[in-house]
Amino acid sequence: MTIITRVAAAALAATIATEAVAVEWNVSLWGKRRAFTEHVERIAELVSEKTDGEFTMNISYGGLSKNRENLDGISIGAFEMAQFCAGYHPDKNRLITVLELPFLGVSNLEEEVAVSSAVYAHPAVAKEMAQWNAKLLMTSPMPQYNVVGTGEPRDTLSEMKGLRVRATGGLGKAFETVGATPTSVTATEAYQAMASGVVDMVAFAQHAHLSFGTINQADWWTSNLNPGTVNCPVVVNIDAYEGLSRKHRAALDGSVSEALEHYLDNYGDLLNRWDSVLGEKGVRKVEIAQSELDAFKTAAGTPLHEAWISEMEAQGLPGRELYDLVGATLDKARMSN
C-alpha cells in the first residue's frame, strides 16, 4: 500500500468514525415555540453543547405528526422524541391521568414537577408506557387551568350550566359535574372552536391562551377557578434511547433538571406579566366566590378521585397506590420548602 493510499484509507476511517458517533434525533411538537416547549428547546441546546455537536435534535412544530398522534409516532419509531398530553388519549396512558384529576391540591409549578416526577418513576407507569416503546423523560409543568369566555362573565357554577367548554381529561369531567358540556378539541383547534361558537369557554393555562389566540376572543377570564391542570410528558423512543452511546445518554439524562429549571424561570416571567396581558387585550378578570369554589370541589374532587381509583383497580392497575403517592409527594415537597 502506497503512502497516498494509506493516507486516503486513514481519512476514510476517520470519516466513518465521525459519522458513527453523530446522532440526530427528530422531535415532534405542535403549535409554535412557546413557554410550554422551552424545556425541549433548552435540552436540545444542552445536549449539543455537552457532546460538542455530536448529538443534535431537530425540533418540528407540527411537521412530523398531529399532536394526538405523537405517542403513536413514538411507538413505531417515526421520531425519537415527542411531547403529548395524557387527556388526548387516556386509554393509552391510563396511569398518568392521576395527575389530571381535579382539585389535587397542587399549588405551583415546582409541586407539579415533584408529583409528575414521582408518578413517572413508578414501575407500573414505566411498564404501561413501554407498551408504546416510550420512556418518560420529563414533564411539562403547567399552572392550574382557568377559563376564558365570551359575553357576560360567568362567576357562579349555575351560570356555567349548559355551556360548552373546551376541557380534556379530568378537567372535562369536573365541568360535567356542574352541568357544562366538555369537548376535547385540541389546543390548535381551540381558537377556531371559540370563534365559530362551537365552544363557549376554553380551559387552558396562561401560555396556551396566549399562544393559541383564545385570549383574543375572550371577554373575561376566571382568575381563581383553579380546578386542576393537564399532564403533558416529553417521551423518548426506548430503542433510540438504548441505542445511544454512554456519553450521549449521560448528556441527555444529565440535562433534564437544567432544562426544567429554564422552563420554570421562563414560565414565571409569563405569570408575572399576565395581568398586563389581560389589560392589553381588554379582558376582564373574574374572581369566583369561595363558596362557589367549595361547591365545585365538593362535586368534582373526592367523588372523581374515588371513581378514578376504582376504575384503575378494576383493570388490575395500582390506582390507590399512585393516588397516595401524589399526596405523599405533595406533603414532602411542602415540608422541604
Q: What DSSP string describes 298-330? A: HHHSHHHHHHHHHHHHHTT--HHHHHHHHHHHH
Edge-to-edge strands, sheet with 23-29: 55-61, 23-29, 81-83, 234-237, 134-138
The answer to whether residues 125 and 250 belong to one domain is yes
What's the rounded mean pLDDT across residues 259-274? 94
Q: In this predicted structure, what is the pLDDT of residue 337?
A: 67
Q: Which three cell numbers stand for residue 296?
A: 365545585
Q: How confident is the model at residue 311 (pLDDT cuts 50, 70, 90)?
A: very high
User: Within a domain: residue 96?
Assistant: no
What's the rounded mean pLDDT across residues 62-70? 96
Q: What is the pLDDT of residues 105-126, one digit of tens each?
A: 999 999 999 999 999 999 999 9
Q: How confident is the model at residue 7 (pLDDT cuts 50, 70, 90)?
A: very low
Sequence-ordered alpha helix ranges (H) in 121-255: 123-130, 157-160, 169-176, 187-195, 206-211, 238-242, 246-253
User: Within a domain: residue 97?
Assistant: no
Q: Which three cell numbers stand for residue 145?
A: 387551568
The answer to whether residues 211 and 297 belong to one domain is yes
The answer to whether residues 67 and 189 belong to one domain is no
The sign one gets for the Cα dihedral 68, 71, 75, 79 is: positive
The answer to whether residues 68 and 35 belong to one domain is yes
User: Within a domain: residue 101?
Assistant: no
- Look over the chain and give the mean of its residue pLDDT values, rounded to a whole number: 92
Q: What is the pLDDT of residues 210-244, one digit of tens each?
A: 999 999 999 999 999 999 999 999 999 999 999 99
The answer to whether residues 127 and 196 belong to one domain is no
- Given a cut of 80, whether residue 10 has pLDDT beyond it is no
Question: DSSP 3-state assignment of 115?
Answer: helix
The answer to whether residues 163 and 173 belong to one domain is yes
User: Which of the residue ranges 12-16, 34-38, 58-62, 96-100 would you say has the lowest mean pLDDT?
Assistant: 12-16
User: Within a domain: residue 302?
Assistant: yes
The answer to whether residues 325 and 251 belong to one domain is no
User: Within a domain: residue 95?
Assistant: no
The answer to whether residues 73 and 123 belong to one domain is yes
Question: What pTM was estimated for this model as a whole?
Answer: 0.87
The answer to whether residues 122 and 246 belong to one domain is yes
- Given a cut of 80, whether residue 183 has pLDDT beyond it is yes
Q: Which three cell numbers stand for residue 250?
A: 449521560
The sign one gets for the Cα dihedral 7, 11, 17, 18 is: positive
Distance CA 145, CA 321 (A): 26
- Given a cut of 70, whether residue 9 has pLDDT beyond it is no
Q: In this predicted structure, what is the pLDDT of residue 12?
A: 47
The sign one gets for the Cα dihedral 185, 190, 192, 197 is: positive
The answer to whether residues 65 and 8 belong to one domain is yes
Q: Which three cell numbers stand for residue 290?
A: 369561595
What's the rounded mean pLDDT across residues 286-306? 95
Domain CATH for 213: 3.40.190.170
The answer to whether residues 179 and 265 belong to one domain is no
Q: 67: domain range?
A: 3-90+107-140+231-270
Sequence-ordered alpha helix ranges (H) in 22-122: 38-50, 70-75, 109-120
Sequence-ordered alpha helix ranges (H) in 76-213: 109-120, 123-130, 157-160, 169-176, 187-195, 206-211
- In the chain, the N- to C-terminal Cα span, in Å, equals 69
What's the domain count of the chain? 2
The answer to whether residues 125 and 205 belong to one domain is no
